[in-house]
Each structure stands twice: as C-alpha cells, then as structure tokens.
Structure 1
Amino acid sequence: MAFEYTPPKYAQLIAEMERRIESGEYPPGSPLPSEHQLMSEFGMARPTVVKALGVLRDNGWIITQQGKGRFVRGRPALAAGQHPRTGRELLERREIPSVTRLVSVGLVKAPRRIAAYLGQDAGASVLLRKTVVDQDGQPSEIVAVWLPPQVAEGTALAASKELSQGVRRQVESVAGVGLDHIVEHLTARNPDKEERELLGVGASAALLDLYAVACDATGKAWVVLQTVLPGDRHELEDAYPIR
C-alpha cells in the first residue's frame, strides 16, 4: 500500500529558511528570528526548531555567536545541492535507458553485510536490483539496490524496466517515512567473476566498493545502495566547508 509522504516539520522549516535567505528576505549578516519567534510563526515545538537551526548551521547557512544569537551567513559556497555526496546522488538517480542497462531484478538471499545493514537475519530474502552504467562507450560502474521485499512489492523497483524516478521517491512512498540520512562505507577489493564480465576488467583489478545505507530519523535502514567502481576509471572527490 502506498502512502502520501509529507516531509517532517524540521525539514519544512529548513526549506523555508533557505528560501528566505536565498531570496534576500534574510540578507547576510542580519539576525535570525529567535527560537520563540519561529515557534510562534510556524507552530512548532522548540526541539523541532532547534534541530532545524542546527542543520542550517552545520550546512553553512547561518552562524551562531556566543551571547549574541544566530546570524545569516548566506548561501554556502558549497551548498549540498551543488555537490551531492555519492550516496545521495545514487538515491536520487534515475535509470536512463541510453546509459543504464538493467542486469537483473528479483529476490535473493541477503549477504551477511547487507542483512546487517537492513537489520535482518543473514540469508533472509531481499530484493536486489542491479544495473550497469556505461560512460564513454565502456562500463563505468555497477549499481545494486538492496531492500526488504515489502518495500519493493508492487512498485517500479521490482519491475524489469528502467526507473523513471529515483529510488528515494519509491521507497518513501511505499514505506510512508522520510529518509533522513545516509551512512556510507567504502572498501577496496578485487572483482568476482560476474563483475569481471560486466565491467570488462581483469581478476587483479582494484575495485572501489561503496555502500550507502539510507535511514529514517530513528536510524532504521530502509534501503542499501551499492556502487562498484573500477579504480582506474574513477576518482572520488568530496568538498565541504571548514568551520
């Protein structure tokens, strides 16, 4: 059964504050409304307001001056939307037929690592959706989406055709929850037989294996996105503000 998803209140407040800063309604250097004022205007409890302000501070939109209050810093030079982290990009990515090949989709026994991420017993049934992404005429990465069967049942995630919408929208719609954060794990290893065939690499090739575990606000994992990258075809780059 699909549910209509409404973003949590703190996320709604974050979006509105970012909009006001970008529009110039709250110009750089100006004091931010107090917690009490925001609670009154938006009808939110203090913990919700404090959480939203903490995210805005951590993302570089506002600054806190001890004893003086919170002030607008402006749109951060490295805004999250400009430089999406790998896991977030995978969560939002559509499967474009011209560059994405669907390799397989169906129920499999969960490997130990995947079962641990999803809080399931090893060997439990999970849905695996696997695609290969081509770039410049050669296979560039293998993307695997792992999730509990009840989350994928009856959705495009379980269908044998490319996704026209990202995994995030599908999961949030079915689960009726908002995905709050991603935990990433990066390892390096040699390819297995299937990966050698799909990527066209040798047995001694170095692969980067990144797992992005998407969780709700309680920390419950709903989906694991795995990307397998040939080390000689990729360079991982990250950028973040220094505070």
Structure 2
Amino acid sequence: MSLESVPPKYAQLVQTLQRRIESGEYPPGSLLPSENQLIQEFGVSRPTVVAALRMMREQGWIDSQQGKGRFVRGRPAMDSVESNRPGQAYLTTPEADTPGEVLEAGAVAVPNRIGALLDVPQKAKAFLRRRLIARDGGPTELVSLWLPLELSEGTDLTSGEPLTQGLREHLKARKGVRFDHVVEQITARMPSADEARKLAMPKNTPLLAVFGAVRDAAGRPLVVVEILLPADRHELEDAYALTS
C-alpha cells in the first residue's frame, strides 16, 4: 500500500511511461521518445528523466541500444520485475550516476540500531559514508552506508568524490566480499533538527527510515544502508507474484 500519495517526479514519469506502454501508445519494439523530448513534454530536469529511464531499464520495460536510442519491450513478466526497493539502487548504482554530495566519511561511534544490524559492540566505532541526494532542485534523501572498520580499509569510501562503481562491485573488487541477501526494515519517526535542516523538511513532517542489512551467504553482516526519506515526497511500492 502506498505510504504517500505524491511520489517524486522521476517516479511519476515512470508511472506515466508505463501506462503508455500498457495502453499501446508505445507498443513493443517502438522507439521511446528521446531524453530531450521527455524533458520538453513533462517540464522536468535531465537527472529526473535519466533516473526514470534507468529504473525502467532495470525493471525490464525498455532496452537501450548504443547510438540508436531506447526501445520498448513491454510489460515484463511479474516474476522478473525487480521491486522498487529503496536500498537496492545505492548498493548497485555508481554514486556518480546520482546527483548529491558527500557529507561525511570516516570512523564514528555506531548508533545502537546500526550496531545491532552490523553485529558491532555498543560504543564501538564503524565506518560511515553519508551523502545528501538532490533531485528536481532540492534534497530528497539522506543516505548512510555503515561498514565494519576493517571492511572499509583499502577502499575509496573515504574519498569526498562520488564512487564510479556501485558499492557491491567496489567491495567485491577491493575486499573480495560477495553480497548474498538483504534484510530490510522500514520505520517512521520524526526527524532530528539536523536531519530536518539538511532535507529542507516542513515542520511536523515525519521521516521514513529504511534500513537494509546486507549479509554474505553465511549470514555475516557486511554493510548497512540507511536511507532517510521525507514522507511528504516519497511513496514505497512493491510488486510480487501470487502463487497458486
């Protein structure tokens, strides 16, 4: 069930393009309008269009062909649809593909909830990389990556520049670790004063806090991705097949 009735602009664009594909306005095999055409028609920014098209490609609605454009595939089979889970993009997509800035990168005392998810003792330190994501001219998400200190050593996570690899690929290349599964938790709470300021949130607006605990095949904690979403700008949606 939707948690908020007004999704961000890139999600609205995805929904509109999906409806046009399902109605036959954009039939399978047809060429999707270009980025410039979508920008002009919908009055949105290029990052918004790029984010929407990337999501549609990842979900199997369209294909990209170098030098030719993007072609419609049609509605993907339900069992092949990747759910639009908030933490997934921040584990697989390069930071350089998402507009934002690095606010913090270093060892900090771990909060109780993060410590429990990382299996780190209370009052111990963990590595934190925190970014403020901006879309459509304003801040939209506060994303924190938490790792055991030893897993951050020898990586580019301390850099103030955006990563050119996804976190999953980067840690596999640098540390030899393999992500196996994610346990996701979603809570709602009021923001701290600092969080509300960074996210330019109106007074008395709650946050959606998403925690994705990444584990290897043996169940060992590797990473926790924490995403703070202003509830007035986001909805959370999932899709799944019904078994007989």
* TM-score, shorter chain, exceeding 0.5: yes
Tell me which structure has the larger Cα radius of gyration.
1
Given that 1:127 and 1:146 are in contact with CA atoms closer than 8 Å, whether structure 2 keeps it comes out as yes
Identity of aligned residues (%): 37
Cα distance per residue 1:79-118 (max 9 Å; x no partner): 5564453232221122137711111111100111111111
- The amino acid across from 2:124 in the alignment is A
Change (3 A) 1:85 1:78: farther
Aligned CA RMSD, in angstroms, stands at 2.0
Q: How does 1:1-243 map to 2 (within 5 A)?
A: 77-80=77-80, 82-96=82-96, 99-243=99-243
TM-score normalised according to structure 1 size: 0.65
Change (3 A) 1:98 1:111: closer
Deviation at 1:76, TM superposition (A): 6.8
Show the counterpart of 2:38.
Answer: none
Change (3 A) 1:166 1:77: same
In structure 2, distance between residues paired with 1:116 and 1:77: 37
In structure 1, distance between residues paired with 2:120 and 2:159: 23
Segments of structure 2 that go 5 or more residues without pairing to the other structure are 1-74
Counting matched residue pairs gives: 169
Change (3 A) 1:135 1:76: closer
SS at match of 1:194: helix
Given that 1:127 and 1:158 are in contact with CA atoms closer than 8 Å, whether structure 2 keeps it comes out as no
Structure 1 residue runs of 4+, over 6 Å off? Answer: none
Given that 1:171 and 1:222 are in contact with CA atoms closer than 8 Å, whether structure 2 keeps it comes out as no
Given that 1:183 and 1:213 are in contact with CA atoms closer than 8 Å, whether structure 2 keeps it comes out as yes
Deviation at 1:226, TM superposition (A): 0.6
SS at match of 1:154: coil
TM-score normalised according to structure 2 size: 0.65
SS at match of 2:194: helix
| Relative contact order, higher structure (CA 8 A, sep 6+) | 2
Given that 2:91 and 2:167 are in contact with CA atoms closer than 8 Å, whether structure 1 keeps it comes out as yes
Cα distance per residue 1:182-230 (max 9 Å; x no partner): 0001000011122111101144211000000000111111000010000
Show the counterpart of 1:47.
Answer: none
Given that 2:148 and 2:223 are in contact with CA atoms closer than 8 Å, whether structure 1 keeps it comes out as yes
Given that 1:100 and 1:134 are in contact with CA atoms closer than 8 Å, whether structure 2 keeps it comes out as yes
In structure 2, distance between residues paired with 1:142 and 1:80: 29
